[in-house]
Structure 1
């Protein structure tokens, strides 16, 4: 019997035609991200490898760490204050799939992102890159065709960027499983995921072809599952999530305190000075976006004592809050991953009976879940960090009670209160 009530579906021809801009957006998103990485890496090597040697210092010299982060804060603040485009929207107040900025803001978004990534600021490239790619996708393809909704173009840019960031389209597909239903597209879930997955796949493959990084590591396998692992994993993930909840609770207060100083060059410079002090305390491993530093931790976990890992965890989470609150532009996922990794290794150092792969996966999953409020991305990053698929069924159970802890907690995003119309300045 034929079901005459079935929802209409997109034709194969329509999917094929719409896949063309999806693939192009995915490729373009990866190219933008890779270019951002390459430029920031070159500047980073200049600032931290070559230049300090001219003054008898190196990347670990305390006064050099303080100087570079302070100057980075002053430079970012000056651009946000004086240069047209003003560095785009404040990353602390934007979601990954928010409205795209104006095209004129793109150059300054790229500039402040490069300065932050190269200068050692504890933020990742995801928010600025997604903002740039969304603006470009809407500007280019929105003019070529009025049949593609701007919201879909933004989703494709986000998908392409996430695919490029993680080196796989799986993360983007998981993230958008719960949101594609909001798009006015007919068909099944896979019909709606077809285009974002095409963009994410194109972004991931392009990034890998261009020599980009992949968030993939391999730790000692967990081995046979034991019942006690559920309790151990839950405790690690729960405490890690609570760290994220505390950070999210403090975030708006710190953001308000910095921005009460009014002038960006003042509060961003002060933020850079504080980051410099934190960098001196935690050392170079607590600087930058955190991906390479996460790899450093995982490559030789035995090189770090429990006290060092506790210090790394505390310094990095504070640095993340300061950087995000003080007007720097950048994402919060990669620094949070470093925090979760350091905390997981801390749990393993304190209780060696816990499998290291389980400890790291749960540490990362907990704080990522609190930071993103997305269980899929929490599970994905946890598995990617430990490289042990045996941990997956445990994470799928452990995440359930941890989700109950974080579901009503504040987000790691600042939502400024709406101003009264009479007092609010006009917005373009």
Structure 2
């Protein structure tokens, strides 16, 4: 005779989430410290390469000769790392986005060394991709040893969130990126249950960064407190134009990548790429070098002193530099250079139509370029809103993002598959 059995007790969400707090705190602090350590090392190395060394040799710090020499030398240095260091600095950067599957631990020293050379040497790439990849690998391999019962995907999510929080100095960016990534994925619990531990990691990473280095995306634009219809129209037009401008690099990417792949050997591809970057840097000037965040602040600090021709030159040179750097094998991210490209493009639009407020021009152009080059809708909106430094601009940017997204969706991305074909 069958007997009724009581169903097993269901654990409350809180009892499931509380044990995740300590791992998230540890990953958050560790991810931030790695990011800050690599950044500090790269900055010191940059000062030696671009200030101390040319001063000792009696050469202008950012002269054309020194720029070409340094970028070519950086290509040689990274080429040696990719060729000789175990792990070859990871997979082809052209096929890697933010995050991804954990890399083998043996790959990480070469990846970090290559990324440090890139940041210090003036290459137009940011730290985000290598740092996120490294933190994911460390969290995954160390976490699985310390807590085998915790799923590997959880460690990956914690590391991604923590690093994005550390990079932007706020957990909001991580929440937006993760909510976009988790949308439509099957999983237990509500979205906030699944975001709980990653947000702990992101908040800890952001707070650690804030306490130790006080990063800021404030580029000093005059805030716009009461946007009107004309501002909305300007934002829509500029965001769409900037999205088209960013798509140029996406369409060219597989072809430029194929040209460098024909050179085959990293000690040929990367020095040649460095030479091309040096020539572009000599033509575009100091502001078109490095990852671009400090240069964006410098550009915005002198609103009105640049002609539209000078500004579009900066935007075009930086776009080409990003395209070459991403194509020839330099490890690095594309968000920070894209911010500079958008800022230069927006200030060019503002120089052509002075009635457009700088906050509208810059934030909407950054939004458009980021949508084209990253396809990260939330992070594009977040970055544009932070640069605008005005809460009322958020509604304007949301409206501007919709037609810009129609332009970029389904188009080639600034990322390739492992066969060298564009992702759409």
Please tell me the TM-score bracket, short chain as reference.
Answer: over 0.9
- Following superposition, the deviation at residue 29 of structure 1 comes to 0.5
Aligned to 2:256: 254
Q: In 2, Cα distance between the equivalents of 1:418 and 1:293?
A: 31
Q: In 1, Cα distance between the equivalents of 2:127 and 2:64?
A: 25
Structure 2 SS opposite 1:179: helix
TM-score by length of 1: 0.93
Structure 2 SS opposite 1:392: helix
Aligned to 2:140: 138
1:314-346: CA deviation from partner (whole Å, max 9, x where unpaired): 000000000010110000000000000111111
TM superposition outliers: structure 1 runs of 4+ over 6 Å: none
Q: In 2, Cα distance between the equivalents of 1:318 and 1:10?
A: 53
Q: In 2, Cα distance between the equivalents of 1:418 and 1:46?
A: 36
Q: In 1, Cα distance between the equivalents of 2:219 and 2:17?
A: 35
Structure 2 SS opposite 1:246: helix
Aligned to 2:327: 325
Q: In 2, Cα distance between the equivalents of 1:90 and 1:301?
A: 38
Matched, 1:386 2:388: yes
Cα pair 1:100 1:131 within 8 Å, conserved:
yes
- Following superposition, the deviation at residue 216 of structure 1 comes to 2.7
- Following superposition, the deviation at residue 221 of structure 1 comes to 2.2
Which among 154, 158, 161 is matched to residue 159 of structure 1?
161
Q: Which runs of 5+ in 2 are unaligned?
A: 1-9
Aligned to 2:6: none
1:340-379 alignment, distance < 5 Å: 340-379=342-381
Q: In 1, Cα distance between the equivalents of 2:365 and 2:185?
A: 34
**Aligned length, in residue pairs:** 412
Q: In 2, Cα distance between the equivalents of 1:291 and 1:362?
A: 17
Q: In 1, Cα distance between the equivalents of 2:13 and 2:395?
A: 37
1:13-162 alignment, distance < 5 Å: 13-162=15-164
Cα pair 1:113 1:125 within 8 Å, conserved:
yes
1:103-160: CA deviation from partner (whole Å, max 9, x where unpaired): 0111111100000000000000000001110110011101112222212211111111
Which among 268, 272, 275 is matched to residue 273 of structure 1?
275
1:205-216 alignment, distance < 5 Å: 205-216=207-218
- Following superposition, the deviation at residue 20 of structure 1 comes to 1.1
Q: In 2, Cα distance between the equivalents of 1:261 and 1:394?
A: 46
TM-score by length of 2: 0.94
- Following superposition, the deviation at residue 297 of structure 1 comes to 0.9
Q: In 1, Cα distance between the equivalents of 2:158 and 2:310?
A: 41
Cα pair 2:72 2:275 within 8 Å, conserved:
yes
1:72-114: CA deviation from partner (whole Å, max 9, x where unpaired): 0011011101121211122211121211211011111110000
Q: Which runs of 5+ in 1 are unaligned?
A: 1-7, 420-428
- Following superposition, the deviation at residue 368 of structure 1 comes to 0.6
1:161-240 alignment, distance < 5 Å: 161-181=163-183, 185-240=187-242
Q: In 2, Cα distance between the equivalents of 1:97 and 1:122?
A: 20
Q: Judge which range, 78-87 or 39-48, deviates more.
A: 78-87
- CA pair 408-181 structure 1, distance change in 2 beyond 3 A: closer
Aligned to 1:4: none
Cα pair 1:163 1:204 within 8 Å, conserved:
yes
Q: Judge which range, 315-324 or 190-199, deviates more.
A: 190-199
Q: In 1, Cα distance between the equivalents of 2:12 and 2:303?
A: 50
- Following superposition, the deviation at residue 11 of structure 1 comes to 2.4
Aligned to 1:404: 406
Q: Judge which range, 230-239 or 361-370, deviates more.
A: 230-239
Cα pair 1:59 1:284 within 8 Å, conserved:
no
Q: In 1, Cα distance between the equivalents of 2:98 and 2:312?
A: 30
Cα pair 1:10 1:186 within 8 Å, conserved:
no
- CA pair 10-84 structure 1, distance change in 2 beyond 3 A: farther
Cα pair 1:217 1:384 within 8 Å, conserved:
no
1:222-265: CA deviation from partner (whole Å, max 9, x where unpaired): 24322122221111101111111111111111111101111001
